[in-house]
Amino acid sequence: EVQLVEAGGGLVQPGGSLRLSCAASGFSVSYSHMGWVRQAPGKGLEWVSVIHERGDTYYSDSVKGRFTISRDNSKNTLSLQMNSLRVEDTAIYYCARDYVSPARFGYWGQGTLVTVSS
């Protein structure tokens, strides 16, 4: 059974950094397309970043240059390093895995809340 469990959320001041992790089980992250999707309080879903099976990484314009996605194949985990955090980065961050192709996310974690506030 595919399971994704996020961790690392919390309260951080504007300009600070935070690292999210996503522990995967039931499959190998090294053979999957994995991504992060966030949801600001009371708002819709917003794609943040993706790492493809070959290791290519991509980011939304809103986080490019500040966030870095990576994976640790030995630990079967996905990470999101978030630097220069802004108030508008406050959201629940979901880890997700592709479904059949990278065009959609078919497996989701429960999410971890990141709050950027002074």
Among 22, 37, 63, 78, binds other proteins (CB under 8 A): 37
The token pair at 67 is: 């966030």
Q: Which of 30, 35, 44 is closest to 6 using CA atoms? A: 35
- Examine residue 50 and tell whether it contacts other proteins (CB under 8 A): yes
- In the range 54-113, which residues lie near other proteins by CB under 8 A? 58, 60, 94, 99-100, 102-106, 108-111
Single out the segment in contact with other proteins by CB under 8 A; choices: 15-23, 24-32, 44-52, 69-77.
44-52
Scored b (16 or more CB within 10 A) or e, 28-41 reads: ebeebbbbbbbeee
- Examine residue 27 and tell whether it contacts other proteins (CB under 8 A): no
Say if residues 87 and 116 touch (Cβ distance below 8 Å).
yes
For other proteins, the closer of residues 67 and 94 by Cβ is 94
With CB under 8 A as the rule, give the number of residues binding other proteins.
21
In whole angstroms, give the CA distance from residue 16 to residue 94. 20
